[in-house]
């Protein structure tokens, strides 16, 4: 329902695998991975102003409060962005919000098996204490930032970024930038239904996000981030 069928074909998997192994860092950029009509429904929910909460990380601590944030030097702050707050589950315990349904699909056996075929590693949430927090939606505004950092962690095998920005222009900023190799950074525009998969332990995988350059302070850069683990 969510994945476009041509992305599941063996030929597609072989192409993605080849690209992964030949790139620095090990990464793949896939456009039109998901059903655009379904993603449109997700975006309509994310564009609602309610349900967002500011998230702040420093290099020494995650999820810091405002008091600690103000005491932290600017060069030690690496993330300021909004995190989407998931709605409560329905009475039957199943997500009835299409955005939450999509996040649940990203933790499904179907999607994780698809990723496992590309990265040649068995991905599982069997030992993940709270899988849901490993897939969520974020937005960046004009004053927000994601500075250089690494996503590697023991057992973390795959990172996924999906962009949900229709009509994004090259002069809006907001590109994902990998450190890359030999002082050759890799820049990727956050275009709609563009998915970036990467190995966070591969050389050159440290990354950041270019600041938004739009003068429209109400315009946001939306993305889904998902992390995947082996046993």
pLDDT in tens, 196-211: 999 999 999 999 999 9
* CATH topology assigned to domain 5-68+78-85+95-229: Jelly Rolls (2.60.120)
Q: Checking DSSP bridges between strand 194-198 and strand 27-31, what pairing results, if any?
A: antiparallel
d(CA 43, CA 109): 24
d(CA 159, CA 26): 11
Dihedral of alpha carbons 47, 107, 156, 23, sign: negative
d(CA 128, CA 120): 20
Residue 23 token pair: 């790139």
Dihedral of alpha carbons 55, 56, 61, 67, sign: negative
Whether 176 contacts 25, CB under 8 Å:
no
pLDDT at 92: 54
Residue 19 token pair: 């690209």
Average pLDDT, the chain: 93
What is the four-CA torsion angle of 30, 34, 37, 38, rounded to 10 degrees? Answer: -140
pLDDT at 122: 96
Tens of pLDDT, residue by residue over 3-32, are: 999 999 999 999 999 999 999 999 999 999
Residue 197 token pair: 């998969």
pTM: 0.94
Structural domain boundaries in the chain: 5-68+78-85+95-229
Residue ranges for the chain with pLDDT beneath 70: 88-95, 214-218
pLDDT at 45: 95
Whether 138 contacts 54, CB under 8 Å:
no
Residues 6+ apart with CB under 8 A from 207: 148, 149, 150, 151, 176, 177, 178, 179
């Amino acid at each position: 329902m969510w994945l476009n069928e041509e992305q599941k074909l063996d030929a597609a998997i072989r192409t993605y695998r080849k690209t992964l192994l030949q790139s620095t860092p090990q990464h793949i950029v896939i456009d039109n991975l998901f059903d655009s009509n379904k993603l449109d429904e997700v975006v309509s929910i994310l564009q609602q102003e309610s349900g967002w909460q500011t998230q702040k990380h420093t290099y020494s601590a995650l999820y810091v409060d405002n008091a600690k944030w103000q005491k932290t030097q600017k060069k030690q702050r690496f993330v300021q962005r909004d995190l989407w707050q998931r709605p409560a589950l329905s009475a039957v315990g199943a997500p009835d919000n299409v955005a939450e349904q999509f996040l649940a699909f990203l933790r499904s056996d179907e999607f994780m098996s698809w990723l496992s075929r590309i990265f040649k590693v068995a991905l599982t949430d069997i030992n993940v204490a709270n899988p849901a927090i490993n897939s969520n939606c974020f937005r960046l505004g004009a004053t927000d930032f994601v500075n250089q950092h690494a996503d590697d962690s023991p057992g973390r095998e795959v990172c996924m970024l999906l962009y949900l920005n229709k009509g994004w222009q090259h002069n809006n900023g907001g590109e994902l930038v990998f450190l890359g190799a030999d002082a050759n950074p890799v820049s990727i525009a956050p275009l709609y239904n563009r998915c970036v998969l990467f190995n966070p332990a591969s050389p050159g995988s440290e990354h950041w996000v270019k600041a938004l350059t739009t003068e429209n302070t109400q315009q946001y850069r939306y993305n889904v981030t998902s992390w995947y683990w082996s046993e």
